[in-house]
A and B are shown apart, each in its own frame.
Chain A
Amino acid sequence: NAGVTQTPKFRVLKTGQSMTLLCAQDMNHEYMYWYRQDPGMGLRLIHYSVGEGTTAKGEVPDGYNVSRLKKQNFLLGLESAAPSQTSVYFCASSQRTTTDTQYFGPGTRLTVL
């Protein structure tokens, strides 16, 4: 049982390049989330999904797109990376209740030059 895994762990991009971050969970969770973590700001929700084929915007969605084609996977895309997107990105998943624990992946450290 691997829990929540994220690929890749580290990435360096140039401004304007694109990339996709992959999140996978093996706990059969309905809900999945993408957060970014910046110093002094805690974690902020980018996008989330409440089931296969559904996605919704969170607090800071601009510049990102997501897809959830399979229940166990949640992809985060950057179409044209900007230095402001330099951050650590965390994926999380939970059961379909408002009080369930969110389980977090190990994070992806992204640097945009």
Chain B
Amino acid sequence: AQSVTQLGSHVSVSEGALVLLRCNYSSSVPPYLFWYVQYPNQGLQLLLKYTSAATLVKGINGFEAEFKKSETSFHLTKPSAHMSDAAEYFCAVSERGGYNKLIFGAGTRLAVHP
């Protein structure tokens, strides 16, 4: 069965610092990969997704992620954190040929301090 591991349940950065949120998946066949963000008391919204095109994927709000097959990773980065980036971030995978069912990681809560 597929699984997703997000290293670090809480990450804290200073405003203007690099944001790096880690995601590793376990699958012999590279799945489709997604990053979702959840702001307090809201549903999830898509940041970006990897679907076998370019390995470096750009998303909304200045975020990007790079798919590395050799490392089974899909880490999320942003060069300069903003206070408004404080939220919970979820990495998810879906199987190729499936019904778009998502398997989520446990989430990483990002705090941004002045």
**Interface positions of B from 72 to 106, Cβ below 8 Å from A:** 90, 94-106
On whether A98 and B98 interact (CB within 8 A), knowing A42-B104, A42-B105, the answer reads yes
Restricting to A80-113, which residues have a CB under 8 Å from any CB of B? 90, 92, 94, 97-102, 104-107
B43 and A105 within 8 A (CB): yes
CB nearest to A56 among chain B residues = B99
Across-interface contacts of B32 in A (CB, < 8 A): 98-99
B101 touches A97 (CB 8 A): no
The CA-CA distance from A55 to B6 in the complex, in Å, is: 30
Number of CB contacts from chain A to chain B under 8 A = 66
Band of interface residues on B: 20 to 34
The interface size bin for chain A is 20 to 34
Asked whether any CB of chain B lies closer than 8 Å to the CB of A33, the reply is yes
Residues of B within 8 A of A (CB): 4, 9, 32, 36, 41-46, 49, 51, 90, 94-107
CB pair B99–A99 under 8 Å, yes or no, is no
Instruction: Indicate which residue in A44, A45, A90, A100 contacts B43 across the interface (CB closer than 8 Å).
Output: A90
Which of A41, A100, A106 contacts B42, CB < 8 Å?
A106
Taking CB atoms, residues of chain B closer than 8 Å to A102 are 44, 46, 100, 102
Query: Which partner residue on chain B sits nearest A59 by CB separation?
Result: B103
A4 contacts B by Cβ under 8 Å: yes
CA distance A64 to B51 in the complex (A): 32
